[in-house]
A and B are shown apart, each in its own frame.
Chain A
Amino acid sequence: MKGKRVGLNGDTAVAFAAKQANVDVVSAYPITPQTIIVETLAKYINNGELDAAFIPVESEHSALSAAVGASLAGARVFTATASQGLALMYEILWIAAGMRTTIVMALGNRAFSPNINIHCSHDDAYAARDTGWIQFFAENVQEAYDLTLQAFKVSEDHRVLFPSIINLDGFILTHSLEGLYVLDDKTVEEFLPPKKPYNPIDPEAPKTYGPLDLYDWYMEHKKLQDYHFNNNVPPVIKEVFEEYAEISGRRYTPVKTMGVEDADIGIMILGSSAGSVRHVVRQLREKGKKVGVISLTQYRPFPKKELVEAVKNLQVLAVMDRSISFGSPGAQLYMDVASTLYNAKHRPLLFNVIYGLGGRDLTPVHIEGVVEKAEEVLKKGEVEEEQIWVGLKE
């Protein structure tokens, strides 16, 4: 591990990363649980520690709209939001991606209303899944810091030019103090020199940004966007992960696995709970149970190949979602996994586990319950109950 050991919560770690990234514009609206990010950045700016414009916008919709304008003007732009704020931004999420801005946004994951809750669910991250944003999931505060720095590098790469979201679980990560290693400013500056904007607004070379695009061209433009997103983004992410590993000693991979090589049963999960699952699974493995864990650092573009590879020895896979998709064949991650594996040479039996909605704790007992359920499926060789909920009151 390289860098200095400090104690920060998720919000301040992300804000510190944005400061080290030397952002030019911060456009944000206070919405719990990301508020501390905005407050910290405002403090950096007003104390002269960061030379950036802070736009204290009047809504989340305007936060992202202003970020789009600033990014097109050539600035390195950061914003942050959560749940309802993301929902209000929704229209502009598509525009930010389609106009190929390089905004980096921290998303303090939290449940959608009603009822108003403020605690962790992944509703907001999933709501953004179709919009063309790159999405990373942080498992702890260290990852939130590291991924924020790496996201700027990925988004601003001229082969990419797509905005990024760093998901960090609301309160569980945003408000928890953790020890982490931070890089020194000089190392970050070398890793992340000032943004070289691609076709920024320039009166010397006037361009029309965001024209009317009817049936004669719209489809080709969407095809191109999709092609670039699927084909250009993953290799750049890998390159950036590699470069970051060299300067930090911390190596990231799109898919994180533990024990899947020899396991029959796998548990797949996103965000901070991956650590809890790994802890329980480690104990179960000591008792001789053949269980493995899969989590994603890169959620969009969805790492299909890596997932197919990760599950190739599994017989049963429990896909855990901290959200629900009303009336859908399953919750959001489950649908991604099921459709990824449908045409794979080998696919394990799948079932979906709903957990942790609105900040409900996921305890070791719940995780053991999921493994027991998977063992039943393994024994029967079929899935009788495709979706189960854990942690519900009886």
Chain B
Amino acid sequence: MEAKPIKTLKDIPRVEQFAPGHRLCAGCGIPQVVRFTLKAVPDPKVVVNATGCLEVATTIFPYTSWKVPWVHNAFENAAATASGVEAAIKMLEKKYGKKRYKVIVFGGDGGTFDIGFQALSGMLERGHDIMYICYDNEAYMNTGIQRSGATPKGAHTTTSPAGKVIPGKQEKKKDLIRIAIAHGIKYAATMNPAYPVDMYNKIVKAANTPGPTVLHYFTPCPTGWYFDPSRSIEVARLAVQTRIWPLYEYDNGKIRITVPVKKPKPVEDYFKLQGRFRHLLRPENRWLLEEIKRDIEENWKELERLAEVYK
């Protein structure tokens, strides 16, 4: 069965396969991508989950939020575990006529960018029919806000503290989507909860694309970014409007910016809402703020260039 795109939020199916009562924080963006995915991807389906916020908060024995089969193996191996499930059901269909189902992976940024990177690369290279969704809260939030390969430059985390000499993380974030595309997959996209229709339809496209697909989801984290949970969507929207989190997709050879940002808002608007960036607004860290602004501009220009080349 094909997944169906939507025009407005009203078109989103009412069915819920992710039960309330889970322990994810107020203002956390993860439930939105999970609910949308379970709504957008037709049954039958199975979810494989890496260790992380989503896993620990939704399956505290004897409770579970999952109304679809859900498998957790370990931190770094969600992509490998899913590969096994996918290979098995294809073979069981061929040999014994069992019914196949769609395999979806949810992994955090730690489980995707860092410890699970190799398994993800293997899964993409082998061409398994799996949707891989990275919910990126830009640090190891479940273990106490440690820096990951997805933490943006300048951010304060418990292992990249904003100190007097070194003001937060000094390295740039890895570019997950371009790494994924380099494996020769057919569909990859970024998503953000402040743009729900864009997000829903990207999940639909991934679901309808055979072979591996990668979706990279921006999930605001009030606990780890130090902001008021009621402002989650505002923070998420600002990430897009400042060009920090471009919304774009790679669709079978074509790159398209799905939410153009003609007049970007000042990055300070985004930074000042979050405790993790507040130190960047101090005069002594101005050099770093300027560097980050340059990075953002360069990244956007490069994306525009790619969108032009791969029209």
A201 to B81, CA, bound (A): 13
Contact B72 A210 (CB under 8 A): yes
Contact A67 B60 (CB under 8 A): no
The verdict on B56 contacting chain A, using a C-beta distance below 8 Å, is yes
A211 in contact with B92 given A66-B83, A72-B71 (CB within 8 Å): no
The verdict on A55 contacting chain B, using a C-beta distance below 8 Å, is yes
Interface size class of chain B, counting residues whose CB lies under 8 Å from the partner chain: 35 or more
Number of A-B residue pairs, CB cutoff 8 Å, is 156
A72 to B118, CA, bound (A): 22
Contact A210 B61 (CB under 8 A): no
Which chain A residues border B83 with CB–CB below 8 Å? 27, 55, 57, 62, 66, 69
Contact B126 A68 (CB under 8 A): no
A210 to B74, CA, bound (A): 9
Which chain A residues border B206 with CB–CB below 8 Å? none
A71 to B87, CA, bound (A): 11
Contact A62 B64 (CB under 8 A): no
Contact A62 B80 (CB under 8 A): yes
The verdict on A288 contacting chain B, using a C-beta distance below 8 Å, is no
**In chain A, what residue has the closest Cβ to B43?**
A203
**In chain B, what residue has the closest Cβ to A55?**
B87
A217 in contact with B61 given A65-B119, A74-B88 (CB within 8 Å): yes
The verdict on B101 contacting chain A, using a C-beta distance below 8 Å, is yes
A208 to B87, CA, bound (A): 20
Contact B118 A62 (CB under 8 A): yes
- Flag the segment in B44-52, B239-247, B251-259 that touches A: B44-52
Kindly provide the distance from the CB of B100 to the nearest chain A CB, expressed in whole angstroms: 10
A5-22 CB mask vs B (1 if < 8 Å, else 0) is: 000000000000000000
A25 in contact with B91 given A194-B96, A212-B56, A214-B60 (CB within 8 Å): yes
Kindly provide the distance from the CB of B104 to the nearest chain A CB, expressed in whole angstroms: 12
A24 to B226, CA, bound (A): 49
Interface size class of chain A, counting residues whose CB lies under 8 Å from the partner chain: 35 or more
A75 in contact with B91 given A65-B119, A212-B61, A217-B61 (CB within 8 Å): yes
A66 in contact with B87 given A206-B66, A214-B61 (CB within 8 Å): yes
B74-88 CB mask vs A (1 if < 8 Å, else 0) is: 101101111111111
Kindly provide the distance from the CB of A93 to the nearest chain B CB, expressed in whole angstroms: 11
| CB interface residues, A 209-234, toward B, < 8 Å | 209-214, 216-217
Contact A56 B126 (CB under 8 A): yes
Which chain B residues border A213 with CB–CB below 8 Å? 61
Contact A57 B80 (CB under 8 A): yes
Contact B126 A55 (CB under 8 A): yes
Contact A208 B64 (CB under 8 A): yes
The verdict on A371 contacting chain B, using a C-beta distance below 8 Å, is no
| CB interface residues, A 1-56, toward B, < 8 Å | 24-25, 27, 51-53, 55-56
A217 to B61, CA, bound (A): 7
- The 8 Å CB contact of A69, one of B59, B81, B95, B122, is B81
Contact B94 A201 (CB under 8 A): no
Contact A69 B85 (CB under 8 A): yes
Kindly provide the distance from the CB of A36 to the nearest chain B CB, expressed in whole angstroms: 22
Which chain A residues border B84 with CB–CB below 8 Å? 25, 27, 55, 65-71, 73, 77
| CB interface residues, B 93-145, toward A, < 8 Å | 94-96, 98-99, 101, 118-119, 121-122, 125-126
**In chain A, what residue has the closest Cβ to B44?**
A203
- 30 A-B residue pairs with Cβ-Cβ distance under 8 Å, sorted by A, are A24-B91, A24-B92, A24-B95, A25-B87, A53-B88, A55-B83, A62-B80, A65-B80, A66-B87, A67-B84, A68-B81, A68-B84, A69-B71, A69-B73, A69-B81, A69-B88, A70-B87, A72-B85, A73-B84, A73-B89, A74-B88, A201-B69, A203-B46, A203-B99, A206-B67, A207-B70, A208-B66, A211-B59, A211-B61, A214-B61
Going nearest first, the 9 A-B pairs with the smallest beta carbon separation are: A69-B84, A203-B44, A66-B84, A58-B122, A65-B77, A211-B59, A62-B80, A73-B88, A210-B72
Question: A residues near B, CB below 8 A?
Answer: 24-25, 27, 51-53, 55-59, 61-63, 65-75, 77, 91-92, 95, 99, 194, 201-204, 206-214, 216-217
Q: A52-B91, A66-B81, A66-B87 are in contact. List 14 more A-B contacts (CB 8 A).
A: A55-B87, A58-B118, A62-B77, A65-B80, A69-B73, A71-B84, A95-B73, A194-B96, A202-B69, A204-B44, A209-B70, A209-B72, A210-B71, A211-B59
